[in-house]
Structure 1
Amino acid sequence: MVLQDRAKATRGAIIIGAAAVFEEHGYGSTSLTQVSEAAGVTKGALYFHFQSKEDLARAVIEEQHRIAAAEGERIVAEDLPALTTMILMCRAFGLQLVHEPVVRAGIRLTFEATAFGAPVRGPYEDWIAVMEQLTGRAKTELQIRPSVDAGAFARYLVASFTGVQLVSGVLTGRADVMQRIEEMWEILLPGILHEDFHEDARTLSRLISTAIPALPAH
């Protein structure tokens, strides 16, 4: 058990070290020597857990997806109104991009995945599926107009968030990413809100940047 715990800790340290190097240098310019130094392990220990740089990159992406999905599941479990849940999930992902190096590295590697294999589709497909389900719920709860196509909106939302965080990363190193996510929702909401829903777009979008209590269902 002690050896298993030690191996698990070593593997975790390698992923964290790799994330730091991948985030700074990208896949192509990262060496396993840099990773072993950042993780504080020998190259032998690194090769015990990961056979190649590609294996290591995929492990970082998987860990990024696990971190993001776990927080999303926590928010969904709070059983808030569906539209509120969607906004808070975007808020949580934005905060992870600010504070979690593994998340930042995983996102960068997702964009660079063709350098070491096929495009990474799973995280996007999972996120779109969750947002499509929540959009359908929001229509039932009379928060989103019945004419809104749940699948189309989910795809557009994920694409919008991806673009917003990417441009924020290029222009400001994501220093303004939370503000840009809030702006995204403020622009999107007027086009989808149900006419009988009692909250306006500005109030809802401010969930990104404030500690406003969860909004009640309509």
Structure 2
Amino acid sequence: MTQQARAVETRAVIIRAAAAVFTAHGYGGTSMADICAAADLTKGALYFHFASKEALALAIVDAQHQRAIALGDELLHSDQPGLEVLLRLCFELAVQLREDPVSRAGIRLTLESSSLTAPVVTPYEEWIAACDLLLRRAIADGDVRADTDVEAAARFISPAFTGVQVVSDVLTGRADLRQRVIEMWSFVLPSLVVPERWAVLRTLPQEMADAWG
């Protein structure tokens, strides 16, 4: 293995170990010594890759965000119905949060970013923008009401999902997140969907959950 390949592998080991510790103890409850122990590395090796705990936390936030962006990139630019894509993204992100330790840590660190030098806002801004784009596509598709306040709806849907997954994490470790997202959309959809399309779209949350949740 080359020196560069070893460096890449060590960095990945650090991020995975740090993700587990941050998820368990939060930003304030985690020290670099904790991460060294979890990664089975010396402090020198850790600081060679990350100059501070904040730098490591931000690397995890970025890794989580890149996973989420990769999830949505192809769908955002596809010709699939906007409303269907929006729900699918929510359910696929729910799967990431249940199954991927780095995603769980990244979300927790984003929520705790007031402890960092500067709050992490880009993930929120980009998901609100994605919601906005997909709602406008859904209006063009004839699924969402043309008089919908798209900006307000986008600002509501993204934080609503954030709140649902946070409460699910606190109460059940996200074991019930799939059902909670179904419920969220069951309440949101009636305010968005064109009445003539309701008979077809009313089952969309369950269908998306069955396919992707």
TM normalised by structure 2 equals: 0.94
Quick one: distance in 1 between partners of 2:48 and 2:173? 34
Q: How many residues align?
A: 212
Q: Distance in 2 between matches of 1:77 and 1:17?
A: 34
- Higher mean alpha-carbon deviation, 110-119 vs 130-139, is at 110-119
d(CA) in 2 for partners of 1:8 and 1:64?
17
1:99 maps to 99
User: Tell me, what secondary structure is at the counterpart of 1:181?
Assistant: helix
Cα displacement (A) at 1:211: 2.4
Match of 1:216 in 2: none
- 2-structure distance, mates of 1:68, 1:194: 29
Cα contact 2:76–2:134 (8 A) shared by 1 = no
The answer for the alignment partner of 1:152 in structure 2 is: 152
Deviation at 1:199, TM superposition (A): 4.5
Residue number in structure 2 paired with 1:162: 162
Correspondence list, 1:15-164, <5 A: 15-164=15-164
User: Is there any run of 5+ residues in structure 2 with no aligned partner, and where?
Assistant: none
Residues 104-134 of structure 1 deviation map (CA, whole Å, 9 limit, x = unaligned) = 1111111111112222110000000011011
Measure, in 1, the Cα distance between the counterparts of 2:198 and 2:157.
Answer: 22
Q: Superposition RMSD on alpha carbons, in Å?
A: 1.6
Taking a change above 3 Å as real, the CA distance of residues 81 and 199 of structure 1, as seen in their structure-2 partners, is farther
CA distance in 2, matches of 1:172, 1:14: 27
Letter in 2 for 1:210: D
Deviation at 1:69, TM superposition (A): 0.9
Deviation, 1:197, is 2.0
**Closer, same or farther in 2 for the Cα pair 1:190/1:198, shift >3 Å?**
closer
CA 1:142/1:108 → structure 2, altered by over 3 Å: closer, same or farther?
same
Q: Which amino acid aligns with 1:151?
A: E
Instruction: Give the TM-score normalised by structure 1.
Output: 0.92
Q: What percent of counterpart residues are identical?
A: 47
Structure 1 equivalent of residue 10 of structure 2: 10
